[in-house]
A = this chain, B = another copy of it.
Amino acid sequence: MLLKGAKLKISEIPEPTIMRLTVYARCLTDLVKQNVQVVSSEKLANEAGVNAAQVRKDLSYLGSFGRRGVGYETNHLLNKISICLGLTKERSIVIVGVGKLGSALLGYQGFLEKGFKMVAAFDTDKRRIGSSIGGIEVIDLERVDEIIKKKNVEIGIIAVPAEAAQKVADRLVVAGIKSILNFAPVVIKVPESILLRRVDLSSELEILSHYLNSSHKE
């Protein structure tokens, strides 16, 4: 949620559409695996849990290539979305903080499938440094600049406690990171040139809570 960064202006596609494109990509991947070659906007909408008009509108940002009365070629559409999402190129990621959440993220297989490559994990805890989690070595945070530059890392995931998050973000920025995904439950600040997204687990529950509350008022 709440993507920030000056570079955004370059994209002409609204953020909610980008979000839905990631969902369509997931559905299309399943369909391709099942050897389904053509899909209608109705069927894709049903799979993605949105309505068909929304699907057509979202896909119109990628150019016109659905065939009226026939639908979209699954492989072709998946390819188009992958290009739009920049998934045709491998992107290197690092993670800072290998507590419970960080370790869980390190073990998450889904990243690899999508062309994201976890190149290193950092921590400041001497007991963790030198250990290996999910095949990734845990390195002293002191070496973050060196690794980010050497391995051309584009995305940094922050999974440290709230009170350490801003300091870690500052270090990542100095090291030359281009984008940050923040899991720490705190609002961090970065220069305008850095893309920043946060995943706030409490926020997700609070949003559900709001709607549960609204529905009780019925």
Contacts and interface: CB of A to CB of B under 8 A. Distances in A.
A128 B8 CA distance: 44
A102 to B, nearest CB: 8
Nearest 10 Cβ contacts at the A-B interface: A86-B213, A7-B215, A22-B203, A100-B104, A104-B104, A86-B209, A11-B214, A101-B104, A110-B202, A10-B214
Interface residues of A, number: 75
A144 interface: no
Interface of A: 1-5, 7-8, 10-11, 13, 15, 18-23, 25-27, 47-50, 84-87, 89, 91, 93, 100-101, 103-105, 107-108, 110-111, 113-114, 116, 154-155, 178-179, 181, 185-187, 189, 195-197, 199-218
A195 B208 contact: yes
B11 A155 contact: no
Contacts of A217: 10
Given A104-B104, A187-B23, A199-B204, A85 B179 contact: no
Nearest to A199: B204
Contacts of A100: 103-104, 107-108
Q: Kindly name the residue among A1, A186, A211 whose own CB sees the greatest number of chain B CB atoms within 10 A.
A: A211
A210 to B, nearest CB: 5
A201 B7 contact: no
Contact of A22 (B8, B114, B207): B207
A215 B10 contact: yes
A2 B49 contact: yes
A179 B200 CA distance: 18
8 contacts: A4-B49, A7-B218, A22-B207, A26-B202, A85-B207, A86-B212, A116-B202, A179-B211
